[in-house]
Amino acid sequence: MKKVFANYLAELLSLAALLVSSVISFVTKNNVSGWICLAIAFVFAVIVVCVQLFKLRWKLPEQTEKSISALTVSFLMKLEHPALLVDDHGKVIWHNEALSEIDKSKSAKHGANVSGIFEGVLMPRKNSDSEPAEYTADNRHFTVQHYPVFGSAKKYDLCIMYDDTGLFESKKYIKMHNPAVMYIVVDNFSELAQGLKDNYRASSAKVSSVLTEWASTFNGLIKEFERDKYICVFDEQYVADMIESDFDIIDLVSAVTASDGGAPLTISIGVAATDGSFSEKEEIAMQALQLALQKGGAQAVVRDRTQARNYGARVRAAKKDSKGPSRNAAFTLSNLIENCSNVIIMGHKNPDFDSIAACVGIARLAFMHGKRPFIITSERDADITPALRLISGLPEYKNVFVDDIYAQELITPSALLVIVDVNNVDMFASAEVYNNASQVVIIDHHIKKEDFTKSISLEFIDPSASSASELVSEILEEKLSAGSMKKEEAILLFSGILLDTQNFTRGTGVRTFGASFYLRSLGADPGEAKELFKNDMDEYIKLARIERNIYRYKDNIAVSFFDGIGNDVDYRLCCTVADRMLTIENVDASFVVCQVGNDVRISARSRSDELNVGTVMTFFGGGGRFDAAACKIENTETNEVLKQLETAIDDFCEGRLRRKEDESTAS
């Protein structure tokens, strides 16, 4: 009772004061004040009682609180999951019996630091979003959870190690037995089929039996679904073994077929070791296979949950000149065209002959499939005027050339967009058309810099080809029936190759001549192709103006620049001059600097392995191949850039730049 008085002294005194004032008021006949005081006293008393009742609702009786504490301790003691209490300095305060059982080293002593126990997995996580820590001991798997608990003015961390061994094992089992899908194709089967090898049936049968035997080693299901094309389904656990052996099956196949005379057969493999449905896995395996073929075949690409890696590219050198990838692309592209409503085709901004010729080549493929092609061009593209003049004489090309605005209207869910001679989104003739198209094909011969922002139906990028025209010619050779290509189209494709190889002097491979041979056989006359390159008078004068500024730097380097402020056309002339400068005696590399608006651009060429102009251009944040590169420096002037260029060349020659590049590629 005393305690109640002490706790509610203030309230009781106020109430007493109010009652006394009311009594005094009544005694002195002041009835109104008396009633008011009485009413206030009554309201006050009601409020106090309500507040106290409310407080009491949330307060457990002391007895109950004590008994719950005891129950909690007893529960944690008996808990089958190991539990440990740590104070805010990371010192162990207490742990239960279950923890001692798995603590073989007896490191969880009272007062020990939590960082020294179970390799530190019990340390509280700094970031609450991070994955919980895991621990494995005696074939048991634990997941650690932390609970902040508050004792008298002190904060503790209660760690409970949940024993989820069953769940963990099940997950592991599911992952091991997750079905992986694999595609296998024989790279050079067309050569076999064309009778280059008379005994192709025997070779093909050998490959089949080797693959079947191989699949039986990992209990896989393998089926030849088309000639020399296999699909295989197996448990994901075996992917690790295949990687471990670096896919030695590829060597095995070429070894068993080597004795048949001619080049041995090679296979390419695409594996999907991912989650998802069978159809998703099938698609991923097909993409992986295409990647393997793009990289030259005779290798395996495994796409897992995080990345795609390639393995076993050991026998590759022998097949560098194979047209296997083109054949594959031709096959896929024809399928896509067959199933689309119309074909929209575009090249890069400021198109050149290679770009427009490749577009026209794809248009021919569309005609063959009975689909309407549309090529995106602009009236500003003055450089390709001779090409357009040549081709527009053909009746089927009426209404084929459209601008990018009209092209937008042509995009339907079943339209196919084919992009040629460019793989950099910034350089696409129309980025909007690319963004809106649902099916995109990319055919290019430039090195791929970055991944595309959307999924691509067919990506055929082969930097070993000289030009997009060469790649498209190979596809056409594979698919077109004799006589269906027009002479004008062949001339244009030939001119595309002439442009990008500078009349067969740069970047030509065996396949370049193969494609040229094919085009020549269709009536492409080199003389007529050359006609297209005739410069007009203005251009001629401008070229002379740039060439007047040539000077020699460091004996074997030629530098020139465009005086004044130029435009995109002037810059392209600078590229032409850079090419031409390599024909000067004792010049191994050339650089031409050109101001375009506020920016300055450099076009660089080299014909020596020693002088990698791609590396020199990295000095300015640009890049390219060792023999052809470029860069753009913003908000500067020609004179300034010429000075910086000399520094960059000095840096390169003295080895400083090379090291810089190595570091950046290593990191």
Contact 313, 296 (CB under 8 A): yes
* Cα-based angle 505, 506, 511 (whole degrees, multiple of 5): 95
557-566: strand order across its sheet: 551-553, 557-566, 589-596, 599-606, 628-633, 623-624
The nearest distance, CB 444 to Mn ion, in angstroms, is: 8
Closest by Cα among 491, 485, 512 to 501: 512
**Complex with Mn ion: residue 273 or 532, whichever CB lies closer:** 532
The nearest distance, CB 355 to Mn ion, in angstroms, is: 6
Contact residues for 470 (Cβ-Cβ < 8 A; gap 6+): 445, 496, 497, 500, 511, 512, 515
Say if strands 599-606 and 628-633 run parallel, antiparallel, or are unpaired.
antiparallel
* Cα-based angle 285, 291, 292 (whole degrees, multiple of 5): 90
The nearest distance, CB 467 to Mn ion, in angstroms, is: 5
As a whole number of angstroms, the distance between CA 653 and CA 619 comes to: 13
Q: Is residue 235 exposed (0-12), middle (13-18) or buried (19+ Cβ within 10 Å)?
A: middle
Q: Does 444 bind Mn ion (CB under 5 A)?
A: no
**Complex with Mn ion: residue 588 or 627, whichever CB lies closer:** 627
The nearest distance, CB 443 to Mn ion, in angstroms, is: 11
Contact residues for 609 (Cβ-Cβ < 8 A; gap 6+): 626
Name the segment binding Mn ion (CB under 5 A); options: 244-252, 280-288, 353-361, 481-489.
Answer: 353-361
**Tokens for 270?**
């695409």
Q: Look at residue 184 and give its three-state secondary structure.
A: strand
**Complex with Mn ion: residue 575 or 649, whichever CB lies closer:** 575
Q: What are the phi and psi torsion angles at 44 (to 5°)?
A: -60, -45
Name the segment binding Mn ion (CB under 5 A); options: 37-45, 106-114, 350-358, 481-489.
Answer: 350-358
Name the segment binding Mn ion (CB under 5 A); options: 95-103, 266-274, 290-298, 492-500.
Answer: 492-500
Name the segment binding Mn ion (CB under 5 A); options: 227-235, 346-354, 393-401, 592-600.
Answer: 346-354
Residue nearest to Mn ion (CB): 354
Q: Look at residue 567 and give its three-state secondary structure.
A: coil
**Complex with Mn ion: residue 423 or 467, whichever CB lies closer:** 467
The residues in 450-469 that bind Mn ion, with binding defined as CB under 5 A, are 467-468
Exposure b/e, 369-385, CB count within 10 A at least 16 = b: bebebbbbbbeebebbe
Amino acid at site 605 = R
**Complex with Mn ion: residue 191 or 462, whichever CB lies closer:** 462
The nearest distance, CB 498 to Mn ion, in angstroms, is: 11
**Complex with Mn ion: residue 264 or 325, whichever CB lies closer:** 325
Name the segment binding Mn ion (CB under 5 A); options: 89-97, 189-197, 354-362, 473-481.
Answer: 354-362
The nearest distance, CB 629 to Mn ion, in angstroms, is: 15
Contact residues for 34 (Cβ-Cβ < 8 A; gap 6+): 22, 23, 25, 26
Residue tagged 């079905």 (tokens): 179
**Complex with Mn ion: residue 236 or 421, whichever CB lies closer:** 421
**Complex with Mn ion: residue 271 or 468, whichever CB lies closer:** 468
User: DSSP secondary-structure letter at 380?
Assistant: T
The nearest distance, CB 434 to Mn ion, in angstroms, is: 18
Name the segment binding Mn ion (CB under 5 A); options: 63-71, 425-433, 495-503, 604-612.
Answer: 495-503
* Cα-based angle 104, 142, 244 (whole degrees, multiple of 5): 95
Q: C-alpha distances in angstroms, 307 versus 211, 273, 274, 393, 650? A: 26, 10, 10, 49, 39
**Complex with Mn ion: residue 443 or 557, whichever CB lies closer:** 443
User: DSSP secondary-structure letter at 99?
Assistant: H
Name the segment binding Mn ion (CB under 5 A); options: 197-205, 416-424, 456-464, 519-527.
Answer: 416-424
Q: Show the site string, 520-539: x = touches Mn ion by CB under 5 A, - = not.
A: --------------------
Exposure b/e, 473-502, CB count within 10 A at least 16 = b: bbbbbbbbeeeebbebbbbbbbbbbbbbbb
Which of 191, 236, 470, 500 is close enough to bind Mn ion by CB under 5 A? 500
Q: Look at residue 230 and give its three-state secondary structure.
A: strand
Q: How many CB atoms lie within 10 A of CB 300?
A: 25
**Complex with Mn ion: residue 200 or 434, whichever CB lies closer:** 434
**Complex with Mn ion: residue 187 or 354, whichever CB lies closer:** 354
**Complex with Mn ion: residue 467 or 612, whichever CB lies closer:** 467
Which of 187, 191, 236, 421 is close enough to bind Mn ion by CB under 5 A? 421
Closest by Cα among 583, 607, 609, 580 to 592: 580
Q: Does 354 bind Mn ion (CB under 5 A)?
A: yes
As a whole number of angstroms, the distance between CA 536 and CA 547 comes to: 17
Name the segment binding Mn ion (CB under 5 A); options: 41-49, 224-232, 389-397, 413-421.
Answer: 413-421
**Complex with Mn ion: residue 421 or 477, whichever CB lies closer:** 421
**Tokens for 475?**
């596809």
**Complex with Mn ion: residue 287 or 355, whichever CB lies closer:** 355
As a whole number of angstroms, the distance between CA 514 and CA 467 comes to: 13
The nearest distance, CB 540 to Mn ion, in angstroms, is: 24
Half-sphere exposure of 249 (CA within 13 A, CB side): 28
**Tokens for 315?**
């026998």
Q: How many residues bind Mn ion (CB under 5 A)?
A: 5
**Complex with Mn ion: residue 144 or 358, whichever CB lies closer:** 358
Residue numbers at the binding site for Mn ion (CB under 5 A): 354, 421, 467-468, 500
